[in-house]
Amino acid sequence: MTVFLIIIVIALLGITFWQMSKILKLSKSQSSEDPTIASDKDNKIQGYLMLAFLIVFNIFMLYNFWSYSKFYLPEAASAHGEDYDRLMFISIGLIMVVQVLTQFLLHYFSFKYKGEKGKKAFFYADNDKLEFIWTIIPVIVLAGLIIYGLFTWSEIMNVEEDEDTVVIELYAYQFGWKARYAGEDNTLGKANVRFIEGINTVGIDESDSYAMDDKITSELHLPVDKKVLFKLRSQDVLHSAYFPFFRAQMNVVPGMITQFGFTPTITSEEMRNSEYMVDKVTEINQIRKENSKELVANGEMALDPYEFEYYLLCNKICGISHYNMQMKIVVESEEDYKEWLAGQESFGETMAKQEENNKQ
């Protein structure tokens, strides 16, 4: 593919230069024609090119939608994600209607009204009615979009914490993530970077009575169909917790705690077995296989086959390894989640172990 594209580029460049030299020659030989100001012939050629461009551009847009729409993320794996996707599709639909219409008018007019000597342009300076129409139509359409958007926004952002909410702290640092679960008391212990010392890597306040049962993990497990509220904390610079599959994102800001909440609705297992993901993973593995051949030929390791997992990315430039600051997310049934959580070591246990080690 790559080689093929490079060949195309070189061919296109060649054609460009060949055409250019031809044009230069032509423009020199016809000394009667002004090489600097558009003649009727130029107007005609450029007018037709505008028409051609309109057609090519429309085909190109169609091609993009046809072959790249599959890139759009799979069905949202969170409760609010459905609303998000609906609003997104409505917006894209509206935009494309306006896009096709206005691009058509723009390029078609450029073709239709290409200049000719002796042709008279229509002196048309103002029309209040027309201008009123195309002011009011965007106003109405946008009002609809704004109202829809704002309702969805406030629904997503106003997370009310109740007894059932799972509160998890996400802790960001150069270049990784940690999750802190509240433990049995369902309350996160106090924390600040000033308490970071040794194995207390996220700066938990050891004197806080809520702290000892907190559990720090390097994977993020979430129970399906339960409201999760993330409290985000950064150790050093700005990061952004980006959960594309859940249509969720919030920056992580040193010096303050930000939050974002959502309810996961599709387990990792279900997502992995969805038609979308099976197709996608098959294609990706095909690509990886192809790439591996090249690597092996160069004496390097082959790529591992890919299996889908949800992941969390950093989406705010944070330094050299920004591109690889990720965390695996597992959405599972509540029983599985509880079982996994029970198997994790609490902060108190970690500290006790440490002390014992120190004594020995």
Partner 1 sequence: MSALANATVAQDHHGHDDHGHHHKETFITKYIFSQDHKMIAKQYLITGLIMGALGILMSVLFRIQIAWPEQSFAIFELLLGEKYAPDGVMNADAYLALVTIHGTIMVFFVLTAGLSGTFSNFLIPLQIGARDMASGFLNMVSYWIFFISSVIMISSLFVESGPASAGWTIYPPLSALPEAIPGSGMGMTLWLISMAFFIAQSLLGSLNYIVTVINLRTKGMSMTRLPLTIWALFVTAIIGVVSFPVLLSAALMLIMDRSFGTSFFLSDIYIKGEVLAHQGGSPVLFEHLFWFLGHPEVYIVILPAMGLVSEIMASNSRKPIFGYRAMVASILAIAFLSTIVWGHHMFVSGMNPFLGSVFTFTTLLIAIPSAVKAFNWITTLWKGNLQMNTGMLFSIGFVSTFITGGLTGIILGDSTLDINVHDTYFVIAHFHLVMGISALYGLFAGVYHWFPKMFGRMMNKNLGYVHFWVTAIGAYGVFFPMHFIGLAGLPRRYYTNTAFPYFDDLADTNVLITVFAIITAVVQLVFIYNFISSIFYGKRATQNPWRSNTLEWTTPVEHVHGNWPGEIPSVYRWSYDYSKMNIDETDYVIPGQDFVPQNVPLQKNEEELNH
Q: Give the pair of three-digit tokens for residue 200.
A: 């207390």
Interaction of residue 55 with partner 1, rule CB under 8 A: no
Stretch binding partner 1 (CB under 8 A), from 109-117, 182-190, 213-221, 339-347: 109-117
Interaction of residue 24 with partner 1, rule CB under 8 A: yes
For the CB of residue 235, give the shortest distance to partner 1 in the complex, in Å.
5
Interaction of residue 100 with partner 1, rule CB under 8 A: no
CA distance 58 to 63: 8
Q: For partner 1, what does the binding mask look like between residues 274 and 313, x meaning CB under 8 A?
A: ------x--xx--xx--x-----------x--x-x--x-x
Nearer to partner 1, 185 or 283 (CB): 283
Interaction of residue 56 with partner 1, rule CB under 8 A: yes
Beta bridge partners of 229: 167, 261
Q: Give the pair of three-digit tokens for residue 289.
A: 């296989």
Backbone dihedral region of 198: left (phi > 0), alpha (psi from -120 to 50 degrees) or beta? left
329-348: contacts with partner 1 (CB under 8 A): none
CA distance 303 to 285: 9
Interaction of residue 11 with partner 1, rule CB under 8 A: no
Is-contact 329 198, C-beta < 8 A? no
Buried b (16+ CB within 10 A) or exposed e, 15-28: eeeeeeeeeeeeee
For the CB of residue 186, give the shortest distance to partner 1 in the complex, in Å.
24
CA distance 196 to 187: 20
Interaction of residue 37 with partner 1, rule CB under 8 A: yes
Q: Give the pair of three-digit tokens for residue 183.
A: 């433990």
For the CB of residue 112, give the shortest distance to partner 1 in the complex, in Å.
9
The residue from 130, 296, 302, 352 that contacts partner 1 (CB under 8 A) is 130
What's the CA angle centered on 52, arms 46 and 58, to 5 degrees?
135
Is-contact 51 108, C-beta < 8 A? yes
For the CB of residue 324, give the shortest distance to partner 1 in the complex, in Å.
4
Nearer to partner 1, 57 or 340 (CB): 57
Q: Tokens 């551009």 map to which residue?
A: 57
Interaction of residue 98 with partner 1, rule CB under 8 A: yes
Is-contact 91 258, C-beta < 8 A? no
CA distance 299 to 267: 39
Nearer to partner 1, 305 or 333 (CB): 305
Interaction of residue 59 with partner 1, rule CB under 8 A: no
Q: Say if strands 228-234 and 166-173 run parallel, antiparallel, or are unpaired.
A: parallel
Interaction of residue 94 with partner 1, rule CB under 8 A: yes
Backbone angles phi, psi at 94, to 5 degrees: -60, -45
> What number of CA atoms fall less than 13 Å from residue 336's CA on the CB side?
11
Q: Give the pair of three-digit tokens for residue 197.
A: 């010392």
For the CB of residue 56, give the shortest distance to partner 1 in the complex, in Å.
7
Interaction of residue 107 with partner 1, rule CB under 8 A: yes
Interaction of residue 27 with partner 1, rule CB under 8 A: yes
Please name which of 242, 240, 247 lies closest in space to residue 78, comparing C-alpha atoms: 247
Nearer to partner 1, 41 or 359 (CB): 41
134-193: contacts with partner 1 (CB under 8 A): 134-135, 138-139, 142, 145-146, 149-150, 152-154, 156-158, 174, 192-193
Interaction of residue 322 with partner 1, rule CB under 8 A: yes
Interaction of residue 196 with partner 1, rule CB under 8 A: yes
Interaction of residue 212 with partner 1, rule CB under 8 A: no
Number of residues in contact with partner 1 under rule CB under 8 A: 133
Nearer to partner 1, 60 or 354 (CB): 60
Stretch binding partner 1 (CB under 8 A), from 127-135, 164-172, 181-189, 328-336: 127-135
The gap between the terminal CA atoms of the chain, to the nearest Å, is 61
